[in-house]
Amino acid sequence: MTVDEFLTGGLGVINTHQDDEILWMLPALYYASIVSVTGKPIPDDNYRAIANYPSWLRGRLQIELGNANDADFLAFWQDVDARDAFYQDEIMRNWIRKRMKRSGLQNWMTHNPWGEYGHYHHRLVNRLVEEVAVELGLSVWWLGVYIPDDGGNPGDTYLDATITGDYILGDFNQSEFLPLRQAFLDADADPGKEYTTWTWHLPDTSFPEGTRKIVRRVNAGVVDDTDLAEITALKASIPEFGGPTP
């Protein structure tokens, strides 16, 4: 495959939490017309990080749920019942469908089916983006990387899934990643901050550095199940967390 297939018809990104876009979708950011943060409202502290973004990326962000002051955001995020009530299929699907349908873009990069390291919100957004893409005849791409359940620091190891279906190669470089991450670290250094905006690990190598496969799972509305066995195995082997309470 060629990069042209990734870009023909336009490209958008849908991620769950702000900072996911630079961790898991970095190669797409430079080409995407829209970077849609779908999974939560953005608190004031995150807007400090957005203000630190380069203008080319700041102008592409679409914060679907708007902003909340830090106190209201923390009340929502720390209230398990309120958070779980939001992360329901129909609520999330409506936001995702609205963005994908109105944009006119053909290609979308999002989280992978196992949620990179098992995050329930990432898995949910992947599934809904793929379902909406089938409905609308669009294409979906995601990063073919997983973080194993090794009992250690989940930012230590980034492994390549065994992919034999359609994919292109994308580069995750420190020279591109670190300046974007610094936008969050500078916001977190503000003495008035109430909320830590960078939610991942801090070592400079704590991202999927290197040349990685970006997998096309849905092609113009048709699901490619070539790698279904690998997807199923990874979803089973990486424990899910962050989902609704029993």
Query: What's the confidence (pLDDT) of residue 195?
Result: 78
In the numeric block, the tokens 């849609």 are attached to 36
Predicted confidence band of residue 124 (pLDDT cuts 50, 70, 90): very high
pTM: 0.93
Predicted confidence band of residue 12 (pLDDT cuts 50, 70, 90): very high
Q: Is the pLDDT of residue 226 over 80?
A: yes
Using one digit for the tens of pLDDT, what is the confidence trace for 181-191? 999 999 999 88
**Cβ–Cβ < 8 Å for 120, 240:** yes
**CA 137 – CA 79 distance, rounded (Å):** 37
Domain boundaries of the chain, sorted by first residue: 3-237
Yes or no: domain 3-237 corresponds to CATH 3.90.550: no
Predicted confidence band of residue 86 (pLDDT cuts 50, 70, 90): confident
Which contacts of 159-163 are long-range, i.e. CB under 8 A and separated by 24 or more positions?
160/212, 160/213, 161/112, 161/213, 161/215, 161/227, 161/230, 161/231, 161/234, 162/227, 162/230, 163/213, 163/215, 163/227, 163/230
Q: Is the pLDDT of residue 3 over 90?
A: no
Cα–chain-centroid distance for residue 174? 18
Q: Is the pLDDT of residue 19 over 90?
A: yes
**Cβ–Cβ < 8 Å for 142, 65:** no
Using one digit for the tens of pLDDT, what is the confidence trace for 144-163? 999 987 555 656 789 999 99
Q: Is the dihedral of CA 137, 141, 144, 145 positive or negative?
A: negative
Using one digit for the tens of pLDDT, what is the confidence trace for 105-120? 999 999 999 999 999 9
| Exposure of 21 in the CB half-sphere (CA atoms within 13 A) | 29
**Cβ–Cβ < 8 Å for 217, 163:** no
Which helix (H) or strand (E) segment holds residue 169: the answer is: strand 167-172
**CA 6 – CA 242 distance, rounded (Å):** 31
